[in-house]
Each structure stands twice: as C-alpha cells, then as structure tokens.
Amino acid sequence: MCTSLTTCEWKKVFYEKMEVAKPADSWELIIDPNLKPNELAPGWKQYLEQHASGRFHCTWCWHTWQSANVVILFHMYLDRAQRAGSVRMRVFKQLCYECGTARLDESSMLEENIENLVDNLITSLREQCYDEDGGQYRIHVASRPDSGPHRSEFCEACQEGIVHWKPSEKLLEEEATFSGASKSRAQEGSGYNFFSLRWCLFWASLCLLIVYLQFSFRRSSFF
C-alpha cells in the first residue's frame, strides 16, 4: 500500500524496470523510515545515493525549497535459491529553516528524477547481488548543488553522521567535463561578431553620440 504519491511512483518505476532487468526473479521495494546506514543483516548489501534532487514542502508554514543534496539509503538482499529479492529504502528528510519547527519534512521528486535514481539502484543491485557489470552510474546536471552551501543542521542525514554534502569524485568529474564544454563553446564564440548584442549596443551608442554632436554644432552655429 502506498503512503504518498511519491512512494507510489517509486514502486511503480522500480517494478517496471526490474521486470525488464531481471524478469526471472521476484523483487519487492519496502519503504523503511528506520533504516540505518552500515547496519546490515547477514547477506544484505548497501547502496547510498548522496546527491539526489528533490523539493521539500513544510507542512507547518508552507515554505518550499529545492535541495540537490537529498540522501537516499538502500539495503538489498537476494535469495538466489528462491529467486526473490528485497530492497528496503529510506529517503532522508530535512527541517524547514524558515519557521524553525522540529517537524521533518519529506521530499517530492519528478518522475524523471525517480527513473534515473532507480537506474542507479539497479546498477548497484546487479553489481552487488548478481556479481555482474552493472554499467555506468548516471550523474545528472540536476544533481549539481545550485542552492548555496548545504545547511547540515537542517539535514536528517547529516544529523545521523552521513557526510554527503561534499561533491563526490563522480560529481567532480562531471563538473570538470561540464566546465570544459562551456569553455570550449566560449572559445568558439570568442571571434568578432558584429551582430552580437555587445556590438549592437556599441553602434547604437556611437550613432546617438554623432546625432548629439551634430545637434550641438548646429545649435552653436545658430547662436
């Protein structure tokens, strides 16, 4: 049974993608708000998503905010004999920094973000539970921190000792690639373009200056 729209979306996407990835096995996804990092029962594996993007909505003062540092914890187990697996999942919450209430608020995510995060989960699941090459993890522009410094005092994951707000190596590699591409585009467009906005403003200012000088000259001649 789904407890929220986001929970239903997570389960829907997970079951659809697992049916494609591992059609011979039966998998279930369980939301567990009490899941703890690095506390694993025998045979269980862990995957931690550290830079998910989500939107929070305070149920007390109605303040909303965007975060690119949402932490999602997964514990995974596969019973090879029964061909059945289980994933337990916890999305860490954040406190509202506007009203200062102690109420922890859940995040909501776009379907596109959930699909990408499930792809990462399945990649880790294939590597750890099936000993396969899961492929490449998805790193997204949306995961790049864009809302200023992370405020750890309002983050449930930080309060439980998960240091996640520093960019990961993969995020830094993506940032370098993104910056390099932007620099290349800037260099390509660094040639003189007389129809660019900067040049249009220059020619407009020059025309106004010429008109002003002509008017001043005629006026001085008249007197």
Alpha-carbon dihedral sign for residues 23, 27, 28, 31: negative
Going by C-alpha positions, the residue among 20, 39, 223, 220 that lies closest to residue 115 is 20
pLDDT at residue number 166:
55
Phi, psi of 103, deg, nearest 5 = -80, 125
The CA-based dihedral angle spanning residues 101, 105, 110, 115, taken in that order and rounded to the nearest 10 degrees: 150
Judge whether 95 and 146 are in contact, CB under 8 Å: no
Residue spans of the domains in the chain: they are 3-163
- Average pLDDT of each block of 10 consecutive residues along the chain (223 residues)? 72 96 96 94 95 85 86 96 97 86 72 90 96 79 53 87 63 49 49 58 78 67 54
